[in-house]
Chain A
Amino acid sequence: MAVRLEIALKPHLFDAQGSELCRMIHDYFGWRVGSARVIQVLTLDAGLNEEEVKAVRTEIFTNPVTQVSSTEPLARAQDFDWAVWVGFRPGVRDTAGSVALEAIADYLRRPLDPKAAAYTSKLFLLRDAPLSRHQVDVVARELLANDIIQQWRIYAPQDWDPREGIGIILPKVELAHTPTVQTLAVGSDQELQKLSDQRNLALNPRDIPVIRAYFLREDVREERRRVGLDLPTDVELEAISQARSDHCNHNTFRGKFYYRDLDSGDASVVDSLFKTCIEAPTLEIQRRKDWVVSVLWDNAGVARFDDDHHYVITAETHNSPSNMEAYGGALTGIVGVYRDPMGTGKGSRLIAGFYGYCVGPRDYAGPLRPHLHPRRLLDGVVEGVRDGGNKHGVPTVFGNLLYHPSYLGKCLVFVGAIGLMPQTVKGEPTEQKKPNPGDLIIMAGGRVGKDGIHGVTASSESYSEQTPAGHVQIGDPYTQKKMHDFLLEARDEGLITFITDNGGGGLSSSIGESAQMAGGAFVELDKVPLKYEGLDVWEIWVSESQERMTVAVRPENLDRFMELARLHEVECTVIGRYEDSGKLHLTYQGRTCAYLDLSFFREDFPQWEFEAQWRSPRSRGLTEPVLSEPEDWGRLLCDLLASPNLCSREWIQRQYDHEVQGTSAVKFLVGRDRDVPNDAAVIRPVLTSNRGLAVTQALHPTYAQIDTYHMVEASIDECVRRLLSVGGMLDEIGGVDNFCWPNIQYDPERNPDGRYKAAQLVRANWALRDMCLAYQIPLLSGKDSMYVDGHLPGAYGERHKVSGLPTLQFTATTVVPDVTRCLTMDVKMPGDLVYVLGITRNELGASEYYQHLGHVGLNIPRAHSEDFLRLYRALERAVAQGLCASCRAVGRGGLAVHGAMAAIAGRLGMTWDLSRVPAEGSLSHVALLFSESLGRFLVTVPPQREAAFQELMEGLPAARIGRVTEAPIFQIRGTDGKELVQVPVESLRKAWSGTWSQEPV
Chain B
Amino acid sequence: MKDVRALVLTGFGLNCDWETAHILHLAGALPERVHLNAIIGGTKRLADYHLFVIGGGFSWADEHGAGVILAMRLKHRLRDEILSFVDRGGLVLGICNGFQVLVNTGLLPGFEPGTWDRQAALVANDCGTFRDQWVHVVFNDQSPCVFTRGLHTMDLPVRHGEGKFFAEADVIQKLEANNQVVLRYATADGRPAQGAFPANPNGSINDIAGICDPTGRILGLMPHPEAFNHWTNHPDWTLEKERRQRTGEPLPEQGAGVLFFRNAVDHVRTRG
Q: Which residues of A contact B (CB under 8 A)?
A: 9, 13-14, 16-17, 19-20, 23, 42, 59-61, 63-66, 95-96, 99-100, 102-103, 106-107, 120, 386, 390-393, 476-478, 481-482, 485, 567-569, 654-667, 670, 672, 674, 684, 687-688, 819-820, 822-824, 826, 828-829, 882, 885-886, 942, 944
Contacts and interface: CB of A to CB of B under 8 A. Distances in A.
Contacts of A65: 103, 118-121, 166-168
A98 to B, nearest CB: 9
Interface in B1-52: 10-16, 18-19, 22-23, 35, 37-38, 41
Contacts of B229: 662, 687
B62 interface: yes
A674 B133 contact: yes
Contact of A16 (B77, B123, B230, B239): B123
Contacts of A569: 12, 37
Given A103-B60, A393-B15, A478-B60, A16 B245 contact: no
Contacts of B236: 672
Contact of A822 (B56, B167, B238): B238
B271 interface: no
A662 B18 contact: yes
A61 to B, nearest CB: 6
B99 interface: no
Given A99-B64, A568-B37, A662-B226, A655 B131 contact: yes
Contact of B238 (A16, A95, A482, A666): A666
A688 B254 CA distance: 11
Given A96-B64, A107-B76, A665-B230, 13 more contacts: A42-B64, A64-B118, A65-B121, A66-B123, A391-B61, A478-B12, A478-B61, A568-B35, A654-B132, A654-B133, A665-B232, A666-B238, A670-B235
30 contacts: A16-B164, A19-B128, A63-B104, A65-B103, A99-B60, A391-B61, A392-B15, A393-B14, A476-B61, A481-B15, A481-B58, A568-B11, A569-B12, A655-B129, A655-B131, A659-B227, A660-B227, A662-B19, A662-B224, A662-B233, A664-B227, A664-B233, A665-B232, A666-B232, A670-B235, A687-B19, A819-B232, A822-B232, A828-B239, A942-B242
B129 A828 contact: no
Contact of B68 (A14, A63, A95, A656): A63
A568 B22 CA distance: 22
Contacts of A667: 235
B162 to A, nearest CB: 9
Interface of B: 10-16, 18-19, 22-23, 35, 37-38, 41, 56-58, 60-65, 68-69, 72-73, 76-77, 103-104, 118-121, 123-134, 157, 159, 164, 166-168, 203, 224, 226-227, 229-230, 232-233, 235-236, 238-239, 241-243, 245-246, 251
Given A478-B58, A654-B131, A826 B69 contact: no
Given A64-B118, A567-B41, A819-B232, A828 B242 contact: yes
B76 A106 contact: yes
B239 A826 contact: yes
A103 B56 contact: no
A891 to B, nearest CB: 20
Contact of B132 (A63, A66, A99, A659): A659
A13 B166 CA distance: 9
A820 B119 contact: no
A476 B62 CA distance: 12
A688 B22 contact: yes
B230 to A, nearest CB: 7
A58 B20 CA distance: 33
Contacts of A485: 10-11
A664 B19 CA distance: 11
Contact of A663 (B19, B77, B131, B203): B19
Contacts of B41: 567
A299 B183 CA distance: 46
B68 A60 contact: yes
A882 B72 contact: no
Contacts of B168: 65
Nearest to A40: B64
B157 A820 contact: no
A415 to B, nearest CB: 18
B259 to A, nearest CB: 15
Contacts of B23: 662
Nearest to A727: B238
B22 to A, nearest CB: 4
Contact of B235 (A20, A663, A674, A687): A674
Contacts of B128: 16-17, 19-20, 23
Contact of B61 (A99, A568, A665, A688): A99
A516 B196 CA distance: 62
- Of residues A386, A478, A569, which shows the largest number of chain B Cβ atoms within 10 Å of its Cβ? A478
Contacts of B68: 60, 63
Nearest to B124: A16
Given A568-B37, A684-B232, A828-B239, A96 B121 contact: no
A95 B63 contact: yes
B66 to A, nearest CB: 10
Contacts of B245: 882
Given A63-B65, A820-B251, A16 B125 contact: yes
Contacts of B12: 478, 482, 569
Contact of A59 (B72, B164, B224, B242): B72
Nearest to B73: A106
B227 A662 contact: yes
Nearest to A382: B129
Given A477-B61, A674-B133, A482 B127 contact: no
Contacts of B62: 391
B63 A96 contact: yes
Nearest to B161: A390
A16 B72 contact: no
A95 B61 contact: yes
Given A106-B73, A667-B235, A819-B232, A659 B157 contact: yes
A328 to B, nearest CB: 15
B112 to A, nearest CB: 15
A648 to B, nearest CB: 14
B11 A66 contact: no
A928 B13 CA distance: 52
B35 A660 contact: no
Contacts of A886: 238
A828 B238 contact: yes
A212 to B, nearest CB: 48
Contacts of B14: 393
Nearest to B225: A662
A17 B164 CA distance: 13
A482 B11 contact: yes
B37 A660 contact: no
Contacts of B235: 667, 670, 674
A657 B159 contact: yes
B212 to A, nearest CB: 18
Contacts of B103: 65
Nearest to B103: A65
A393 B63 contact: no
B195 to A, nearest CB: 12
Contacts of A60: 64, 68-69, 72
B224 A659 contact: yes
B57 A393 contact: yes
A481 B13 CA distance: 6
A103 B118 contact: no
B69 A99 contact: yes
Contacts of A660: 15-16, 56, 159, 227
Nearest to B226: A662
Nearest to B232: A665
Given A107-B72, A659-B227, A824-B238, A16 B35 contact: no
A141 to B, nearest CB: 21
A16 B127 contact: yes
Nearest to B131: A654
B132 A658 contact: yes
A659 B159 contact: yes
